[in-house]
Amino acid sequence: MSTIPLAAYLILTAIMFFAGVYGFLSRRNMLTILMSLELMLNAADINFVVFNKYLYPGQLDGAFFALFAIGVSAAETAIAIAIIINIYRNIKNIYVDEVSKMKY
């Protein structure tokens, strides 16, 4: 019997998620934006596992979802960093507001 209420976990992940939201919307460096994205993903993963444990104890669906989410996140991060490296080669910095050659 776990003594930690479900609500505690959920508040925790909520804080983590919205910290990630804030970071995503306010940072200038592309890598830090990606890092905030990681925060959001992690918060979601914790949510899946928590709901699995508290609401569906006999099954493993939530854990597996979190597993695959981690895998996908890794792949996506790799590609994103490859793109960022490419951008860096072209404009010599990686600030989002500087990537504006094709904007009006």
Judged by CB under 8 A, the chain residues 49 through 78 that form the site for another protein are: 49-50, 53-55, 57-61, 63-64, 66-68, 70-78
Residue 4 binding another protein, by CB under 8 A: yes
Residue 90 binding another protein, by CB under 8 A: no
Q: How many residues bind another protein (CB under 8 A)?
A: 78
**Maximum distance among all Cα pairs of the chain, rounded to whole angstroms:** 60
**Residues shown for the chain:** 104
Residue 47 binding another protein, by CB under 8 A: no
Minimum CB–partner distance for residue 38 and another protein (Å)? 7
- The Cα 13–Cα 4 span in angstroms is 14
- The Cα 104–Cα 31 span in angstroms is 25
Residue 85 binding another protein, by CB under 8 A: yes
Residue 1 binding another protein, by CB under 8 A: yes
Residue 44 binding another protein, by CB under 8 A: no
Which DSSP string corresponds to 54-100? HH-TT--HHHHHHHHHHHHHHHHHHHHHHHHHHHHHHHS--BGGG--
